[in-house]
Chain A
Amino acid sequence: MERKDNWTDYLPMLAFLGYWLYAGLLAAFMTGDPRLPRLGLITLPVLAAMAEALRRTAAARRRKE
């Protein structure tokens, strides 16, 4: 893959995190029920997995460079 195309490596994680913000966090705040934004803590495992995937993708990019 060309160096200039490497940004696409992040797209799956960015798409997921975008949806987490849009359909999860924003929608939870818009309900006006304070329990629902707090319930987002239950998704810590998937957030940790996404963060680790981003870290590994960045590390793989650095190795290629």
Chain B
Amino acid sequence: METAEKRTLLAVAALLGVTVLASTVLHHAFPGVLDVPSNAGVPHTGLFSIFLLDLVPLLLAGLCFVHAWRRLGPYLAVMFLAGSFFFTGLEENVWIFIGRYMHLLAAASPELGSGAGTYYFTRGGLWWFEIPVYICLGWFFIAYSCVHVSNLLLRGRGIAARAALGGFLAMNFDLWLDPVQVHPAWRSWVWLTNEPVRVLSIPLTNFAGWFMLVFLFALVFDGLPGLLERLGPAKAARRFFLTLIGLEAALLAGFLVYGALALKFIKTPVNLTLWGI
């Protein structure tokens, strides 16, 4: 590996490592700072359960990372891991904090400002701001496996089709994962939103988010080898992360507009359900 590549990867890893460490200390030792909700009544909050919940996704992410390292090389493997971690983690964090401090939005949109919040995660050992690290790692290996599979199945097709299939596969899995994980027996995360359109009792924007995050990330990641060749490792990494931040902002703005319009115009809640779920 070139020295410039090594330096860039170390910088990315150090930045993520330091923010994870600081967030974890803040979440557990000073929950009042970020108004962390109470876990009263949430099952499986013992130390062993939390350790296990962190460990399994870490191992599965490790499998995908080994594959990425061998297939794409160290630079692209670390960028896929750090990029997907950052892209999806940032989106979820912003969404959670918008919900937590929703009352401050009342001036801009009375409909949004009157909401009870969006959602929050209940348990986790390591945290990245208000997202458990195992969720970010889950995003990494689900995105990686779905994009890898869509590349295999649509070999020779354009990136838009491959990215769309990757997004669809990830969203398809979450149609089951979300209802299971929010069941009272687990309560891995808690939905607070009063969003009127739901699928299997889960807000529609959640599934739109799953599709869009994996779709957009696959599109941006596909352009990274070209950036690396043209700009070198450090500038390519900066451009890559800035593009992700720009898309993040556009996606969140879109969801906010949708939320405000849906709350204003859809007066009767709709739930597309199977077996009453």
Which residues does A use to contact B, with CB under 8 Å? Answer: 1, 5, 8-9, 11-16, 18-20, 22-24, 27-28, 30-33, 35-36, 38-40, 42-43, 45-46, 49-50, 52-53, 56-57
Contacts and interface: CB of A to CB of B under 8 A. Distances in A.
A45 B166 CA distance: 12
Contacts of B61: 15
B138 A33 contact: no
Contacts of A35: 274-277
B233 to A, nearest CB: 24
B194 interface: no
22 contacts: A11-B63, A12-B145, A13-B149, A15-B64, A15-B141, A27-B181, A31-B180, A31-B184, A31-B185, A36-B180, A36-B277, A40-B176, A43-B173, A45-B169, A46-B146, A46-B170, A46-B173, A49-B150, A49-B153, A49-B169, A52-B153, A53-B149
Interface of B: 56-57, 60-61, 63-64, 66-67, 70-71, 138, 141-142, 144-146, 148-150, 152-153, 165, 168-170, 172-173, 175-177, 179-181, 183-186, 200, 274-277
Nearest to B175: A42
